[in-house]
Structure 1
Amino acid sequence: MEPDNFPALYRSADGSAADAQGTYLWLIRSQYLLLTVAATISIWFGGSPDLYIGYALVLAASTGLLLYMAVQKPEKDWYGCRALAESIKTSTWRYMMRAEPFEDAPKLSDVAGKFSDFLKAILDANSHVRDSISRRPVTGDQITDQMNAVRALPLAERIQKYQADRITDQREWYVAKVKWNRRHFRLWIILCVVVQGGAIALAILRIRYDPPWMIWPTEPLLVIASSVVGWIQLKKFNELASAYNLTAHEIGILQTRLGTIDSEEKFSAFVNEAERAFSREHTQWVARQIESAS
């Protein structure tokens, strides 16, 4: 389903998570860049006094950025908004599939009221991201026409809809992320080896050939290599690839049971089991991010 068909709160949280992620990663890149610039300036030490002033200013900017990140903790907005968005998404699918706790009721308004209360409870539980969400307001309904249209479908069509737009879509997303993380892990490792190899080559060359006028960029190369290692640790390419691969297989196993569902009760139980699997992965992702930031 398209994002516009989900609750407005989901779209606000999803957009806020993307913004917060972009801001956090931009701050990390800026930190690495400032340290690289400082190391580059240090190559020319012994020349103009202005170099020392520039060096001090760059280090001051880097220190200020570090303190800002330590105090404001922008990564928490990213993790919190992402967790909120995924909680709303899984609840929305439960609502559309008539899964517990949003199973059939005499009046649709009764179920809609229960879903609204559920959204409010989720928002209250994530009150620490209210400011982030308020900076990205989204208009629209919390229960869209498309959500009610899907909910009104017969059981067989809802099963088909869930298989195509939730199970298969989610499994393909995880498989794509496994490939993406493994590919980027290899690329960053290669870059790190090349940069460190360059620093080693310069060090060996300097033993036999070191004229006074020669500039040796060993320090900037080492800072770049350290930044690459830090980026690999931050992004957790290998760890995420393994976790996503395991979840993709779990979804595949769940998918084989769809053909045996012949009642609302069985479908409700299946949807809740599948959504718990999705929620567990997102919960573990948030826990991994918080642990790495601690």
Structure 2
Amino acid sequence: MLGRRATILSFDLDYPALYYPADSGSLAGQRRFVRATRVRLFALFAAALGGAWSWRAGSFDLFGLLGFVAFAIALGAATYLQATDPARSWYEARTASESIKTLTWRYIVGGDPFPLSLPETAAEKLLRARLAAVIDPDKLPAPSPSAPTKQITDRMRSVRASSFEDRRAAYRDGRIEDQRGWYARKAVANERLKQTFTWVAIALELAGFVGAAFKAFGQVDVDLLGVFSAAAAGLAAWTQARSYADNQRAYSRNAYELGLIADELDGVSKADWPRFVDEAENAISTEHTQWRAAKGLGAPRQRNAASAPES
């Protein structure tokens, strides 16, 4: 992930060096959280299966052994989640990467607080200070010796030095349309997953009802009610952890808002441009701010908010 080139539609951009460890840290934290949660829920379901049946082989009850091993795995996964807290690593790293992206775009297209009226040395000093303020080195992966170190790349300077029309086109294609498309795709995907898991949950509850009826009337000796109840509970826990419904609403709202911004963009004058970019970036940040709040983290903390001059 370090040194990766960010490709956005037809627009290529090298982000500041700090972006790449933050981005890779976010993806790594998300993967660890999802995998450990999945292992824990599957293990709990396996434990429910072990408690529902009995199959003896000599002095051992094989299903009892399954339940024992499965509970041990579930306990290990829960301990891992509690001890390492990969979810917080994911949230904090995503905060850093998203903050770096918005600062980068504000700078390269001349939006507030980096208007082109600001002397270039002052603008670069302010950008470096703002980048340092959103990064907590203690929460990032260890840097690679070959990792890039440039915070303001030649490509960033090149876009900033281009004409107003070119910067506006770059912002439309590389930021607004890219984000709008991303939110729209994520909204569709989360809606599909929400519907799928809802129907699966209903099917499990129906199966549990039928299993309970069979046991009540002596048709089976197996605790199917417990098995299907455990499966439905695990599915509910997974759906809650992934927040499909909340994500779908947030992504849809942002996609529509960015569509309105894209429609307005070509009519923005050069004088109004810094303010327009500021408002557009605030709109993009809305989803992330709400996402953090939903995860119980509140607003991102500015570390040492770097007092470089703004004018």
After TM superposition, give the deviation of residue 59 of structure 1 in Å: 1.9
Q: 2:130 aligns with which of 115, 118, 129?
A: 118
* 2:74 matched residue in structure 1: 62
Of 37, 40, 52, the match for 2:49: 40
2:44·2:230 contact (CA, 8 Å) conserved in 1? Answer: yes
Of 141, 155, 168, the match for 1:159: 168
Decide which moves more: 42-51 or 31-40: 42-51
- From 253, 258, 278, the equivalent of 2:284 is 278
Q: What displacement does 1:139 show?
A: 1.7
Identity across the alignment (%): 28
**Cα distance change on mapping 1:138 and 1:288 into 2, 3 Å:** farther
- Is the 1:12–1:136 Cα contact (8 Å) retained in structure 2? no
Query: Which residue identity does 1:276 align to in structure 2?
Result: N
Question: How far apart are the structure 2 equivalents of 1:136 and 1:82?
Answer: 19
TM-score (structure 1 length as normaliser): 0.87
Match of 1:224 in 2: 231
Say whether residues 1:237 and 2:244 are aligned partners.
yes
Cα 1:4–1:18 change in 2 (3 A) is: farther
1:132 aligned partner: 140
What's the CA shift string for 1:177-196, capped at 9, x where partnerless?
Answer: 11111111000011111122
**Contact 1:31/1:65 (8 A) holds in 2:** yes
Local SS of the residue matching 2:93: helix
Find the partner of 2:216 among 198, 202, 207. Answer: 207
Equivalent residue pairs, number: 285
Residue deviations 1:268-290, cap 9 Å, x none?
A: 11101101111122111111122
Q: Secondary structure at the match of 1:118?
A: helix
Provide Cα deviations, 1:170-225, integer angstroms capped at 9, x if missing partner: 111111111111111000011111122222222222334536xx545443322111
How many Å apart are 1:24 and its aligned residue? 0.3
Match of 1:260 in 2: 267
Q: Which has the higher helix share?
A: 1
- Aligned residue identity for 2:179: Q
- What is the CA–CA distance in structure 1 between the aligned matches of 2:235 and 2:214, rounded to whole Å? 24
- More divergent stretch after superposition (214-223 vs 88-97): 214-223
Matches of 2:243 and 2:45 in 1, distance apart?
22
Deviation at 1:260, TM superposition (A): 2.5
Q: Distance in 2 between matches of 1:10 and 1:150?
A: 18
**Once the 2 structures are TM-superposed, how far is the Cα of residue 4 of structure 1 from its aligned partner?**
6.4
Partner of 1:257, secondary structure, is helix
Give deviations 1:148-169, integer Å, cap 9, x for gaps. 1211110011111111111111
Scaled by the length of structure 2, what TM-score is found? 0.83
1:69 Cα deviation from its structure 2 partner: 2.0
**C-alpha separation in 2, matches of 1:227 and 1:183:** 19
Q: Secondary structure at the match of 2:39?
A: helix
Q: Alpha carbons of 1:54 and 1:242: their partners in 2 closer, same or farther (altered >3 Å)? A: closer
Structure 1: 5+ residue stretches without partners:
none
Distance 1:287 1:75 in 2: 14
Q: SS where residue 35 of structure 2 aligns?
A: helix
Amino acid of the residue matched to residue 250 of structure 1?
Answer: E
- Taking structure 1 as reference, are residues 227 and 135 closer, same or farther at Cα in structure 2, changes over 3 Å only? farther
User: Does residue 203 of structure 2 align to residue 182 of structure 1?
Assistant: no
Structure 2 residue 84 is matched with structure 1 residue 72: yes
RMSD between superposed Cα atoms in Å: 2.5
Structure 2 portions without partners, runs of 5+: 1-5, 298-311
CA contact (8 A) 1:95 1:115 kept: yes
Counterpart selection for 2:114 from 102, 108, 115: 102
Comparing 278-287 with 99-108, greater Cα deviation is found at 99-108
